[in-house]
Amino acid sequence: MNKKRGIMKKRIRFLLLMLILAGCFPVVCEAQSGLRIASIFDRYGKQKGVAMVELSTEMLETYGMELYKSITIKDSNRALQEIRQCLEADKKGAKKIKEVVEGGQLISGYYQLPVRKEDINRFILFKLSKKGSTTLVYIEGELESDDLITLLFMKKDL
């Protein structure tokens, strides 16, 4: 009888452990997007003083983009440090890195990430404005680095 109870206890413990793991599963899934900046979109995207945009259809086709994701955080003091840490991690292995640093702090950045899918380039753009708001942009698509620079230079509307 006691032996059976012991086995039952073990089974219940095992099931509880599995359920705890199951609870963690969505978090693990979220972190699978491959880029650290994904956590910025997840964490701050729904907060006050934040505007997050996601575009992924024919609205972008003209520009050779498949995905455009941006987040603008008005009062970004709290998020800024985290964003910089994420960029530091994501830029490892980047094909092209252009950064502007003032007083030892990253002010703006342009990163062309390594290709994940064939013919699909990935870019991260970051800018801290003088007013203290931070903008982070992630772009995915067939467009080349030069195309993106042209777009940025032209200040062309999306």
The residues binding another protein (CB under 8 A) are: 11, 14-15, 18-19, 21-23, 25-26, 29, 45-57, 59, 68, 70-72, 98-100, 107-110, 125-127, 129, 133, 135, 137, 149, 151-153, 155, 157-158
- Which of 2, 32 has the CB closer to another protein? 32
CB 51 within 8 A of CB 71: yes
Q: In the complex with another protein, which residue's Cβ is closer, 116 or 156? A: 156
Classified as helix, coil or strand, 28 is helix
Residue 135: closest CA among 67, 61, 44, 60 = 44
- Please report how close the Cβ of residue 83 comes to another protein at its closest, in angstroms: 13
- Whichever of 59 and 115 has its CB closer to another protein, that residue is 59
Q: What is the CA radius of gyration of the chain?
A: 21
* Sign of the four-CA dihedral 99, 31, 55, 64: positive
